[in-house]
Amino acid sequence: MKNIVTLINNELHFSLNEQLYDEDVVFKCFYWYGTDYNVEIDKKDNVFFVKISSKSETKIDHDHLLIKIKQDLIDFKLRDIVTKETKNIRELLTAKAFAHFETDENPVTEISDPIGFDPTNF
């Protein structure tokens, strides 16, 4: 399916195929546009329909906005790929960090104290 971009009444309309961009990627990407733009996302038959309009009365530079959207979608898609690929490593690190080890062994190193206190004599 080819993505079609249209401009209607200073609103940018386009579609994104879910096979290319997961729902998480789409919503994480467009969340950051909420400060300056009104963003509407609808989904039908594995296609996201996105409509963006300016919150102010200024005219949108659609060419610049499209370039930014493409870059941001690639960025968030890559973040999603890295997150999925490193999931097991992060889980292992977290488990290791919170693992509770108890030991009854005395330290193997030599203990020295300038005043002659010996903690092994208790």
Residue 117 has pLDDT above 70, yes or no: no
Tokens 């997961």 label which residue?
22
pTM score: 0.71
What gap in Å lies between CA 16 and CA 18, rounded to an integer? 6
Query: In 10 A of CB 77, how many CB atoms?
Result: 18
Residue 47 has pLDDT above 80, yes or no: yes
Q: Judging by beta carbons within 10 Å of its beta carbon (0-12, 13-18, 19+), is residue 122 exposed, middle or buried?
A: exposed
Amino acid, single-letter form, for residue 18: E
pLDDT (0 to 100) of residue 114: 66
In the numeric block, which tokens belong to residue 95? 């488990």
Residue 6 has pLDDT above 60, yes or no: yes
Least confident of 2-11, 13-22, 37-46: 2-11
Domains with residue ranges and CATH for the chain: 6-98 (3.30.300)
Greatest distance between any 2 Cα atoms in the chain: 86
58 or 118, which is more confident: 58
Share of the chain above pLDDT 90, in %: 57
Mean pLDDT of 87-92: 90
